[in-house]
Amino acid sequence: MRILITGAAGMVGRKLTERLARDRVLAGKPVLALDLHDIVPPEAPEMPNVAVTAHTGDLAAPGAAAALVASRPDVVFHLAGVVSGEAEANFDLGYRVNLDGTRALFDALREAGHAPRVVFTSSIAVFGAPFPDVIPDEFHPTPLTSYGTQKLIGEALLADYTRRGFFDGVGIRLPTICVRPGKPNKAASGFFSGIIREPLNGLPAVLPVPRSVVHTHASPRSAVNFLIHAAEIDGDRIGPRRNLTMPGVGVSVGEQIEALHRIAGDAVAGLIREEPDPTIWAIVQNWPTRFAANRARELGFVAETSFDEIVRAHIDDELGGKVG
């Protein structure tokens, strides 16, 4: 089993790499080679008897994708991409990386001709307001960002290249990943993680939106589980609709805070300061709230079932199981 991960230096890419380094097996087969690619050098784990190679470069550059897939990987995790805020700020960069890079990779795989499994991380950003209360699997994608547009185009290419038999693709639309480890960032969605992560580290956190805001979350651990399951699932079970909205926990911010309260107590939850930010609220009001995700659940994709579980996953995976 040869595996290629693009975007391997990103948060999800690093966690997927760690998981594969630990499991050393995918779809019941031993991992023999792991190729890690990113625009910045990805960290290559120590894996005895496994050929781990770090590649650095621009996937959209001529020949880059062909060189990368020359080893004929059996499974390709295509996670690479410019994030939402950057794709919005820099139109050309977003289209170059998220559209041209994806197409270059898909075309290189078509040329390689060995029809591997391709797991593509799409996003709930393919959806745009207004929304029904619960977004069904058959709801139309009408993105309101360039990032969402580029992900939607990636999904369309993935489905067509799969239908053509060039590869066997599975697109997974990730909900917001929470609790995101690391430092606070400037993303409009940053507070969803910040209000949990910072207090658990004994630090104050700002809540810029009303507690009534509802959003859907899955832990980084679930995101990796989705990727692994998408690599292992029988493609015939999926049928021609290759892009799946992943399950998650749809909760209000108030319910997020209640979960933190239950798990970490008054003092920790008390570190959250409400400081309304009309700009952030205006952005967040256009975001989807809840998803049915019935197809993904029926196909065996599993997420947390409560926000308490998401908080505990963060404490287990990032804080050594300890609160405070």
Residue closer to a copy of itself (CB basis): 137 or 308: 137
**CB contact at 8 A, 291 and 251:** no
Catalytic residue chosen out of the listed positions 77, 147, 161, 166: 147
Backbone angles phi, psi at 304, to 5 degrees: -60, 160
Residue 70 or 129 with smaller CB distance to a copy of itself: 129
Q: Are 175 and 217 in contact (CB under 8 A)?
A: yes
Complex with a copy of itself: residue 19 or 110, whichever CB lies closer: 110
Q: At its nearest, how many Å lie between a copy of itself and the CB of residue 322?
A: 44
Is 147 designated active site?
A: yes
Smallest gap, in angstroms, from Cβ of residue 123 to a copy of itself?
14
CB of 142 to a copy of itself, least distance (A): 5
Comparison of 132 and 204: residue with beta carbon closer to a copy of itself: 132
Q: Name the minimum Å distance from CB 146 to a copy of itself.
A: 5
Farthest-apart Cα atoms in the chain, separation: 58
Q: How far apart are CA 225 and CA 75, in angstroms?
A: 15
**Regarding beta strands 33-38 and 51-56, do their DSSP bridges make them parallel or antiparallel, or are they unpaired?**
parallel
- Strand pairing partners for 5? 36, 77
Alpha carbon distance 262, 305 (integer Å):
16
- Residue found by looking up tokens 């969605």 in the block: 189
Query: Nearer Cβ to a copy of itself, position 39 or 153?
Result: 153
Token output for 266: 């008054």
- Chain positions contacting a copy of itself, by CB under 8 A: 91, 128, 137-144, 146, 149, 152-153, 156-157, 159-160, 163-164, 240-241
Q: What φ, ψ does residue 168 adopt, rounded to 5°?
A: -120, 90
Nearest to 127 by CA among 117, 119, 116, 135: 135
Q: Residue 192 Cβ, how far from a copy of itself at the closest point, in Å? A: 24
Spell out a b/e string for 226-245, using b for 16 or more CB atoms within 10 Å of the CB, else e: bbbbbbbbeeeebeeebbbb
Catalytic residues: 147
